[in-house]
Amino acid sequence: MSSIKEVSLRRATVADAEAIAAVRVEGWQTAYRGMIPDQYLDEMLVDDHVLYWKRILQALPAAADKACVYVAESEGHVIGFVSATLLAEPKHGYHAELGALYIRPQWQRAGIGRRMMHKVARTLQSWNCADLVVWVLSDNRLARNFYEELNGEFVLEQEFSWDDMDLKEVGYGWKDLNVLLASVNAVAGSAAVH
């Protein structure tokens, strides 16, 4: 990021579907290079993901107390997004799951991810949910470092299949969202950019 600009967080709308799809595709193509085959990443197209995000965003009003998607925006452009849902059945003792958190590469390490985690934690608390789990590719050291900095506890490592690819993922969790909120505030207080 060449200069600090105002960044705001807001609930995503259906009109954000294409921007969210673009952030996600760019996120995969940069973050997962070397972890997922290059051919798979190179063939990812934004248009292939827009309909998926339109469907999710259209369903959000009916699930307003079970799922959320927020976008980070600067100068009218979506630069990141985060999504979380309450789980129908607890997973490893957790009742909510962070589904995605992606930020355009040039905006990373500027505190936006921490702000998005804070927003999600507060939203979950407003739904009377006290915990959260997130899954990341085992080899994704940047994401792992981020969740470890926020005191996410290692849950487990497991194999899973995605589009016929055999991968490994690691779970990080917070049994108490107040720990996550305190960690977000502690890291933000010691960082140069807030």
Inter-residue contact 25 to 44 (CB < 8 Å)? yes
In the numeric block, which tokens belong to residue 128? 């009377």
Predicted TM-score (pTM) above 0.85: yes
- All domains of the chain in start order, with CATH: 8-190 (3.40.630.30)
If residue 8 lies in a helix (H) or strand (E), which one and from where to where? Answer: strand 8-11
Q: Which amino acid is at 76?
A: G
Do 87 and 95 meet the contact criterion of CB atoms below 8 Å apart? Answer: yes
Cα(67)–Cα(181) distance, integer angstroms: 19
Quote the percentage of the chain above a pLDDT of 70: 94
Is 188's pLDDT higher than 80? no
The per-residue pLDDT for range 83-141, each reduced to its tens digit, is: 999 999 999 999 999 999 999 999 999 999 999 999 999 999 999 999 999 999 999 99
Q: Is the dihedral of CA 143, 144, 145, 148 positive or negative?
A: positive
User: Quick check: 83 and 9 in contact, CB under 8 A?
Assistant: no
Burial degree of 169 (CB within 10 A; 0-12, 13-18, 19+): middle
- The sheet that has 153-162: what strands, in order across it? 8-11, 67-74, 77-91, 94-103, 132-137, 165-174, 153-162
Please report which confidence band the pLDDT of residue 187 belongs to, taking 50, 70 and 90 as the band edges: confident
Tokens of 163: 């589009």
Distance (Å, whole) CA 31 – CA 25: 10
Q: Is the distance from CB of 51 to CB of 75 less than 8 angstroms?
A: no
Are 160 and 194 in contact, with CB atoms under 8 Å apart? no
- Given a contact cutoff of 8 angstroms between Cβ atoms, the answer to whether 177 and 121 are in contact is yes
